[in-house]
A and B are shown apart, each in its own frame.
Chain A
Amino acid sequence: MTAATTTTYIGARVPRKEDPRLITGDGLFTDDVTLPGMVYVSLVRSPHAHARIRRIDTTAATEEPGVVAVLTGKELEATGALPVFITVPSMNGSKHMPITTDKARYAGDAVAAVVAESRDAAKRAADAVTVDYEPLPVVVDATKALEPGAPIVHEEMKSNLVFTYPVKGGDVDKAFRDADVKVKLRLVNQRLIPNAMEPRAAVAKFEAGELTLWSTTQIPHFVQLIVALNLGLSQNKVRVIAPEVGGGFGSKLQVYAEELIVGHLAKTLGRPVKWTEERREGYLATIHGRDHVSDVELAAKRDGTILGLRVRTVANMGAYLQAFAPGIPTILHVFVVPGAYRIPAFDYEMRGAYTNTTPVDAYRGAGRPESAYVIERAIDRLADEIGMDPAEVRRRNFIPADAFPFNTISGLTYDSGDYAPALERALAMADYKGFEKRRAEAKARGNYRGIGISSYVEICGLAPSKANSALGVGWGGYESARIRVHPTGAVQVFTGTSPHGQSHETSWAQIAADALGITPNDIEVRHGDTFESPGMGVGTFGSRSLAVGGIEVHKAAEKVREKVIQIGAHLLEASPDDMVVEGGKVFVKGVPDKAKNFGDISMAAYLANNLPEGMEPGLEATVYYDPPNFTFPFGTHIAEVEIDGETGAVELVNYSACDDCGRQINPMIVEGQLHGGITQGIGQALYEAAIYDDNGQLLSGSMMEYHVPTAENVPAFKLDHTMTLTTTNPLGVKGIGEAGTIGSTPAVANAVIDALSPLGIKHLDMPFTPEKVWRAIETAGGEGRR
């Protein structure tokens, strides 16, 4: 590179380019797409969690006014099966048809589709479809699903075991033999419902041999690929558009049945087709998250030094494997369980089980919140056991800053890290030293007050592609970007990432602006349309967009910059080495008057009559980039709670976090990601749980029962950061989309247990609902009661 990129906009709080349309109602979400002649789909879903389908009678539904078609699974087999993109060793994959034909495997499994002239008509007709079910025994609990004699979800497999995934390092048996202290915990990481505020939707039209599909997706390119393959269309004739997408958190990281169904129907009926999820329907038919039960054993010395960690977990996969599901409890979970600590011996066995429940896949953090919960709860148990300050136990076991890059016992190589400063800053923000006084004051009020720490490490940006492949991940770890400078100097950035709230239009413009010496306002970032994309995009998930997609934008911009310099030097008759690209101009270093405007350069590139010898006309660049490694953000979160001694109600009174995601492109956006992530993690700790009865009925089946946190449930957050650049990419950026969720849940859990520890309570499972806490206090003797 002839000149270093300056950072005028990288690191600045640039206002979002997305906002003007979103605050005026101009943003176009999938359900906003209405086309002439459109018909509407409603799906008939099984009320039974497990039932053989004897017969489906569609006669009455067909006779309902406005009905266009009523279709069973057999009539929709042309949609093909739903894909699974990850294969782990020993995996028993399930066949997953958009509409099941033989039996319903969870309450919500679709058994028929109705197409009608209006949404109301479709829904009325769906209610008129009668299905003769033969109910079968149901299994909801993953551990029970693996016991002999359990009802089998997929009979052809003879067992509900999806996989056994062992990861070992060091001599764990010896660690436990040598240990002064052993602590044991059974941890339930409960099932959650993602609850992106925008329900899913899909709209398809088929015109002139071309299928256009608008979808609420995080991965339009994967959807395009599967729709083309399944529906027998050439990929160039399938255009998938993810317009505004109203949050995803993993729940839209899928190729869903409804996308294939509306695509197929648009193609066969020749009319545009829309499906929009109702929220209660989504609670059944959109993936859930988490749902692990772990037996955790930690071996340590009396001085707090950890010697070994042994974990046995069963992950509930639900009734079918979804797109990324096999990788969540394995690749994204097991390896990072050792967290921020030097652990010499590690033995983890993860088993996945099919059950008669909604499929489980990625939910914000996707495996890593479960990891942080395992290690951070175990550390606190150890601290309690040896009577040491939990902060001190963490300090003693942290991987030291000079040990990076660090090869973990689980086989990862952490890129960079400096864990202690984040902990110390968080402790200071939280006034950790003053806490015991606050505990005593609360006690005087009859309440229990606790403080909890979580020092997390997480993985972002699965890469490189070869490593992905070795792990069984069936896609590349790259991303793609194209920058096109038009003759007038107008700049478009096309990205394969597909945001749904992450502010890519702003951050990517900041990155490109610095390389091109222009402002973010000069740059338009386009995304979420496979016909406008640079090529194959992977998508937005796993906090990968910046560390992979943002780097592509940077690299493409650097390529364009290089050409700008060459053309500028040629026109100014100066050496490329002396050129400065800044302030919308290219000029000779020290001679700002000897300059060409950015637009002059782009025009010259297209006039092409005065370019350096051998240079191609035009001014654009396309980059595919495969990062050499993951990135590993980290940080410490501290929660403080006060528990009503009489009712068990937990109030989160203080929250402090110091995070390190490497270089921040836009601190305002980083903070926003943290606020939201932290709140979702708090939701898990205090409020959220998908609860099934033994018959597989989802009891927490609507927003009336399942509590998504409100503004009154969370405090204002105190945030700070440290900045440890990654060595994985040239910008030094890591990722922040999931860190808040990963860090917060164990912090709140540790705070609640800390509050109750004077009563001798060692552990409770999440969520810490008032009754659960009250019962624990009662059982323990409730000394704080009046």
Chain B
Amino acid sequence: MITHPFTYRAPSTIEEAVAALGRSRDAKVIAGGHSLLPLMKLGLAQPDALVDLRRIASLRDIRAEADGTIVVGALATHRSIAEDRTIVSKLAALAEAAAAVGDPLVRARGTIGGSLAHADPAADEPAPVLAFDALIRAIGSKGKRDIRAGEYFKAAFETALAPDEIVAEIRFPAQTGRTGSAYVKFAHPASRFAVVGVAATVTLKGDGTVERAAIGVTGAADAPFRAAQAEKAITGTKGDAKAIAAAAAKAAEGITTLSDLVASSDYRRHLVTVYARRALERATQRAQG
């Protein structure tokens, strides 16, 4: 039951949607609605207008561009991302994160754009978005701009988006060379959100040493983050079990971890290291082919 009244419109272009956003004092964009509607039912969000993107069909597409960039439309559902062949083969961590969102019913409607715009600190997809260094393409009244993932997530439910900007697509740069990725998650048993979720990408040189690694962590802190110390520690190593364990142990360095009924701050910190190790192991194995 939603008791707070609002107006609703579903424009057919993103420009109209941006314009509609500007017309209300407290308008919200709705995509799959699986972040927003639960909050509205609880009275925790009380927008006066909803702008529904569902008629903007182009935002649903998942496509590869000529340079290998994979573009995921904001309205792509978690389910369509998890099942997309290109994503499964090229961006395994993203496919695994999308497959780990909520439950099958949530995945059937919830969208990546909605998840990123809502920026729940325990959402899954921010982890691979960070690990793949994706760009979030936003469209607003001043036109379009690309926001680097590392600069996008500001705090819990806070992003770099301006109030009149809409997430249009997420652009994942081409993965080159011997690259593997993985997402692993310790889920909240009831809500299915990530208590800790870690996405790792690992690129190996010809001799098998780690050329580059990126680790995106969600659920653990006020905002998803890159585990920079761990990334540094693994780079240049052989990517063996010992090196991975040593690197993973640094995954929560400098981070203030959250505490709740399911996991205290200490335990979350521990989980970050365990799941960073598991993600790195799997990503490295995949890079090794």
- Residues of chain B at interface, number, CB under 8 A: 15
Closest A-B pairs by Cβ, 5 of them = A707-B190, A707-B189, A771-B267, A704-B191, A646-B274
Q: Which of A695-736 contact B (CB under 8 A)?
A: 699-700, 703-708, 713
A774 and B3 in contact, given A647-B186, A699-B261 (Cβ under 8 angstroms): no
Cβ proximity bits B164-194 to A, threshold 8 Å, 1 near / 0 not: 0000000000000000000000100111000
What per-residue 1/0 map shows which CB atoms of A107-146 lie under 8 Å from chain B? 0000000000001100110010000000000000000000
Which residue of chain A lies nearest to B271 when distances are taken between CB atoms in the complex? A647
Contact with A along B258-287 (1 / 0, CB 8 A): 000111100100110010000000000000
- The residues of B that contact A647 with a CB separation of less than 8 Å are 186, 270-271, 274
Q: Nearest chain A CB to B242's CB is how many angstroms away?
A: 10
Query: Chain A 752-786 against B: per-residue CB contact (8 Å), 1 yes, 0 no?
Result: 00000000000000000111001100000000001
Complex: how many Å from CA A705 to CA B274? 24
Give Cα A775–Cα B264 distance, bound, in whole angstroms.
11
B1, B3, B189, B261: residue with the most chain A Cβ atoms closer than 10 Å: B189
Residue pair B3, A120 in contact (C-beta under 8 Å): yes
Q: Does B91 contact A (CB under 8 A)?
A: no
* Residues of chain A lying within 8 A (CB to CB) of residue B271: 647
**What B residues does A703 contact at CB under 8 A?**
190
Chain A residues with Cβ below 8 Å from B3 are 120, 123-124, 127
> B263 — which chain A residues lie within 8 A by C-beta?
770-771
B245 in contact (CB, < 8 A): yes
In the complex formed, the residue of B with least CB distance to A647 is: B274
Chain B binding surface, main DSSP class: loop
Chain A residues near B264: list those with CB within 8 A: 771
Q: How many Å lie between the Cα of A700 and that of B261 in the bound state? A: 8
Complex-state Cα separation, A687 to B271, whole angstroms: 19
A653 within 8 A of B: no
Q: Which of A119, A127, A704, A770 contacts B190 (CB 8 A)?
A: A704
- Given A120-B1, A646-B274, A771-B267, output 11 extra A-B contacts at Cβ < 8 Å: A123-B1, A278-B1, A691-B261, A703-B190, A704-B190, A706-B190, A707-B190, A708-B190, A770-B267, A771-B262, A774-B267
Whether A774 lies near B1 (C-beta < 8 A) is: no
Which residue of chain B has its CB nearest to the CB of A706? B190
Residues of B within 8 A of A (CB): 1, 3, 186, 189-191, 245, 261-264, 267, 270-271, 274
Q: What are 28 sample pairs from A and B whose C-beta atoms fall under 8 A apart?
A: A119-B1, A123-B1, A124-B3, A127-B3, A646-B274, A647-B186, A647-B271, A687-B189, A687-B190, A691-B261, A699-B261, A703-B190, A704-B190, A704-B191, A705-B190, A705-B191, A705-B261, A706-B190, A707-B189, A708-B190, A713-B189, A769-B262, A770-B186, A771-B262, A771-B263, A771-B264, A775-B267, A786-B245
Give A775 to B191 CA distance when docked, in angstroms. Answer: 23
Of all chain B residues, the one with the shortest Cβ separation from A646 is B274
Chain A residues contacting B186 (CB-CB under 8 Å) are 647, 649, 770
Q: How far is the CB of B250 from chain A (nearest CB, A)?
A: 16
The CA-CA distance from A703 to B274 in the complex, in Å, is 27
Q: Which residue of A lies closest to B193 (CB)?
A: A704
A704 closest partner in B (C-beta):
B191
Name the distance in Å between B52's Cβ and chain A's nearest Cβ.
Answer: 21
CA distance A613 to B246 in the complex (A): 97
- Residues of the A chain whose Cβ atoms lie less than 8 Å from the Cβ of B1: 119-120, 123, 278
Tell me the bound Cα distance from A120 to B190 in angstroms: 28
Smallest beta-carbon distance A698→chain B, Å: 11
Query: Distance (Å) between the CB of B29 and the closest chain A CB?
Result: 23
Q: Once bound together, how far apart are the Cα atoms of A691 and B190, in whole Å? A: 14
Q: Find chain A residues with CB under 8 A from B274 CB.
A: 646-647
Q: How far is the CA of A769 from the CA of B191 in the complex (A)?
A: 15
B241 to chain A: closest residue by CB: A786
- A674-703: CB near B (< 8 Å → 1, else 0) gives 000000000000010001000000011001
Q: Residue on B with the closest CB to A127? A: B3
Within 8 Å CB of A699, what residues of B? Answer: 261
- A709: shortest Cβ distance to chain B, in Å? 9
Chain A positions within 8 Å of B261 at CB level: 691, 699-700, 705
Encoded as 1 (CB less than 8 Å from any B CB) or 0, chain A from 630 to 664 comes to 00000000000000001101000000000000000
* Distance in Å: Cβ of A471 to nearest Cβ of chain B: 38
Within 8 A of B (CB), among A223-276: none
**Residues of B with C-beta under 8 A to A120:** 1, 3
Q: Would you give the shortest CB distance from A58 to chain B, in whole angstroms? A: 18
Distance A411 CA – B189 CA, assembled complex (angstroms) = 43
With most chain B CB atoms within 10 A of its CB, the pick from A278, A707, A771 is A771
Q: How far is the CB of B110 from chain A (nearest CB, A)?
A: 15
Which residue on chain A has the smallest CB distance to residue B195?
A770
